[in-house]
């Protein structure tokens, strides 16, 4: 098996039953494993709500480390629509030429710097750096701010050996409080000020709501982007023929990015709280229990995807849910896609091949399901073209 392979731990249960209940801090979660069911539940926000105690829809639950509601993803329709309407244009800025050019120069510089060296540890020295530098564009803040964000490591709520680290989370909350106070005193054109000056459904956004948007932006787009970037690099190192094909056929790069997102599924699942007694996959789901929409399993559903465990760079039909589905589809998806597409362009341009030197998998455990989501450590050497 190649080192970059990501197995599908859900296959058998998905085929046989379609769901599985796993434990999580005394608040069990019934995971939906089939694409059809995942979509159906995602679409039914009335029965399967995102708006419960802050942190409860996340798996593992973050109720013990967070009291601020993340916006818009912990808000149900119709209120959700007002927030999305405000945020969507800002989060689509990555499609603007000036943004693309700035992102290109960030990626180009990082790749070029690493072409000179012997080897690079991708997770901390490449993907985290790229994610944080790119975030300065999304927030429209000074480039130098990324230095502090990089120092927080790959996850704002997790530290080594601690899946939910309240002290670490507090560092982010204090930082955001300070930044929002500064923006209140001296508004600029960054996202902090834009949020504080915004109105949703005729009401001025509160500092707590702005903080909720920012926590999501800092937390939700961090390990997910790092996984997507790192997994792409590992895959291209392991498959030199694919790097060559992407170089020779630039027209398939868009499809390849969607296929990477399907295969890697950077976020395994996201929860919902059941609002009324109902059924999921012919299984009774009680009001106030939790379910999760398992994007990673749905994206390998063999009834939908041919050869689901293979990366088919130019896959024709690809209705993946790697960025979620329905109301809450990923707000940062445009930014994430632009990062991946710029990365592939620059790699094709500058890198001849990538040596895979050392890997240590990052495995998530949901009871009996053990899923590789990325790497703890990934050492490669970029060889110039
Ligand atoms: C939440 C989640 C959102 C959560 C799109 O993902 O990402 C996780 O990494 C965070 O811990 O709070 O933002």
- Res 222: pLDDT: 97
Note down the domain range covering 327.
11-384
Is 301 part of a structural domain of the chain? Answer: yes
Is 1 part of a structural domain of the chain? Answer: no
| Short-list 378, 338, 347, CA closest to 115 | 347
Q: From the alpha carbon of 222, which atom of ligand 1 is closest?
A: 9
- Res 322: pLDDT: 98
- Res 129: pLDDT: 98
Opening angle at CA 335, ends 372 and 370, nearest 5: 10
351-372 pLDDT tens trace: 999 999 999 999 999 999 999 9
- Res 95: pLDDT: 98
- For atom 6 of ligand 1, which residue has the closest CA? 220
- Res 183: pLDDT: 98
Is 290 part of a structural domain of the chain? Answer: yes
Alpha carbons within 13 A on the beta-carbon side of 23:
4
Structure tokens at 95: 């499609």
Q: Is 164 a pocket residue for ligand 1 (Cβ < 6 Å)? A: no
Q: Is 209 a pocket residue for ligand 1 (Cβ < 6 Å)? A: no
- For atom 3 of ligand 1, which residue has the closest CA? 220
| Short-list 338, 358, 253, 291, CA closest to 20 | 291
Q: What's the whole-number average pLDDT of the chain?
A: 97
Q: Is 336 a pocket residue for ligand 1 (Cβ < 6 Å)? A: no
Q: At what angle do helices 128-139 and 97-116 cross, to 10 degrees?
A: 160
The position carrying tokens 């050492």 is: 379
- Res 274: pLDDT: 98
The band of 182, judged by pLDDT with boundaries at 50, 70 and 90, is very high
- Quote the percentage of the chain above a pLDDT of 70: 100
Q: From the alpha carbon of 324, which atom of ligand 1 is closest?
A: 5
Sequence-ordered alpha helix ranges (H) in the chain: 11-16, 35-43, 79-91, 97-116, 122, 128-139, 145-151, 166-185, 191-196, 207-220, 223-238, 240-248, 253-264, 295-298, 333-350
- Res 100: pLDDT: 98
The band of 270, judged by pLDDT with boundaries at 50, 70 and 90, is very high
- Whether the per-residue pLDDT at 126 is higher than 80: the answer is yes
- For atom 7 of ligand 1, which residue has the closest CA? 220
CATH number for the domain including 293? 1.10.630.10
CA distance 34 to 54: 27
Q: Is 59 a pocket residue for ligand 1 (Cβ < 6 Å)? A: no
- For atom 5 of ligand 1, which residue has the closest CA? 220
- Whether the per-residue pLDDT at 238 is higher than 80: the answer is yes
Structure tokens at 84: 């999305």
Q: 121-159: b or e for each residue (b if 16 or more CB lie within 10 Å)?
A: bbbbbbbbbbbbbbbbbbbbbeeebbeebbebbbbbbbb
Q: What is the mean pLDDT of residues 323-336?
A: 98
Q: Is 223 a pocket residue for ligand 1 (Cβ < 6 Å)? A: yes
Under 8 Å CB-to-CB from 141, ≥6 apart: which residues? 190, 191, 192
Number of domains in the chain: 1
Phi, psi of 182 (to 5 degrees): -60, -45
The position carrying tokens 């005729």 is: 202
SS3 state at 189:
coil
- Res 118: pLDDT: 87
The secondary element (H helix, E strand) that includes residue 249 is none
Is 40 part of a structural domain of the chain? Answer: yes
The band of 117, judged by pLDDT with boundaries at 50, 70 and 90, is confident
- C-alpha 189 to ligand 1 mean position (Å): 26
- Whether the per-residue pLDDT at 161 is higher than 80: the answer is no
Is 4 part of a structural domain of the chain? Answer: no
Quickly count: other Cβ atoms within 10 Å of residue 283's Cβ: 14
- Res 276: pLDDT: 96
The band of 123, judged by pLDDT with boundaries at 50, 70 and 90, is very high
Opening angle at CA 30, ends 25 and 32, nearest 5: 140
- Whether the per-residue pLDDT at 283 is higher than 80: the answer is yes
Opening angle at CA 154, ends 10 and 50, nearest 5: 55
The band of 271, judged by pLDDT with boundaries at 50, 70 and 90, is very high
Evaluate whether 154 touches 226 at the Cβ level (below 8 Å): yes
Is 5 part of a structural domain of the chain? Answer: no
- Whether the per-residue pLDDT at 162 is higher than 90: the answer is no
Is 98 part of a structural domain of the chain? Answer: yes
The band of 228, judged by pLDDT with boundaries at 50, 70 and 90, is very high
- Res 266: pLDDT: 98
- Res 281: pLDDT: 85
- C-alpha 166 to ligand 1 mean position (Å): 15
| Ligand 1 pocket mutation pick from 220, 269, 374 by most atoms within 8 angstroms of CB | 220
297-328 pLDDT tens trace: 999 999 999 999 999 999 999 999 999 999 99
- C-alpha 195 to ligand 1 mean position (Å): 20
- For atom 9 of ligand 1, which residue has the closest CA? 220
């Amino acid at each position: 098996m190649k080192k970059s392979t990501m197995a599908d731990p859900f296959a058998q249960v998905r085929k046989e039953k379609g769901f599985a209940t796993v434990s999580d801090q005394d608040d069990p979660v019934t995971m939906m494993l089939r694409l059809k069911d995942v979509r159906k539940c995602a679409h039914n926000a009335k029965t399967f709500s995102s708006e419960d105690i802050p942190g409860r829809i996340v798996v593992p639950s973050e109720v013990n480390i967070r009291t601020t509601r993340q916006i818009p993803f912990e808000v149900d329709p119709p209120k959700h629509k007002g927030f999305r309407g405000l945020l969507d244009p800002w989060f689509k800025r990555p499609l603007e030429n000036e943004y693309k050019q700035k992102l290109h120069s960030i990626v180009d510089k990082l790749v070029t710097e690493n072409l000179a060296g012997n080897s690079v540890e991708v997770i901390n020295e490449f993907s985290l750096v790229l994610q944080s530098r790119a975030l300065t564009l999304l927030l429209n803040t000074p480039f130098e701010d990324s230095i502090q964000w990089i120092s927080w490591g790959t996850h704002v709520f997790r530290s080594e050996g601690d899946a939910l680290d309240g002290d670490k989370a507090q560092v982010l909350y204090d930082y955001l409080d300070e930044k929002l106070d500064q923006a209140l005193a001296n508004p600029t054109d960054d996202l902090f000020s834009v949020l504080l000056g915004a109105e949703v459904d005729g009401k001025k956004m509160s500092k707590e709501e702005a903080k909720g948007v920012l926590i999501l932006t800092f937390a939700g787009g961090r390990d997910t982007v790092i996984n997507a970037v790192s997994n792409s690099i590992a895959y291209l190192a392991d498959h030199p023929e694919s790097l060559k094909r992407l170089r020779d056929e630039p027209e398939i790069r868009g499809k390849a990015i969607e296929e990477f997102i399907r295969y890697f599924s950077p976020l395994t699942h996201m929860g919902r709280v059941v609002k009324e007694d109902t059924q999921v996959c012919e299984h009774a789901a009680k009001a106030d229990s939790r379910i999760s929409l398992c994007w990673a399993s749905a994206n390998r559903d063999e009834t939908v995807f041919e050869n689901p465990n293979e990366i088919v760079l130019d896959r024709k039909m690809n209705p993946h849910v790697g960025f979620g589905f329905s109301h809450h589809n990923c707000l940062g998806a445009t930014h994430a896609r632009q990062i991946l597409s710029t990365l592939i362009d620059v790699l094709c341009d500058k890198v001849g091949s990538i040596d895979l030197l050392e890997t240590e998998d990052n495995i998530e455990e949901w009871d009996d399901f053990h899923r590789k989501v990325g790497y703890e450590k990934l050492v490669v050497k970029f060889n110039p073209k």
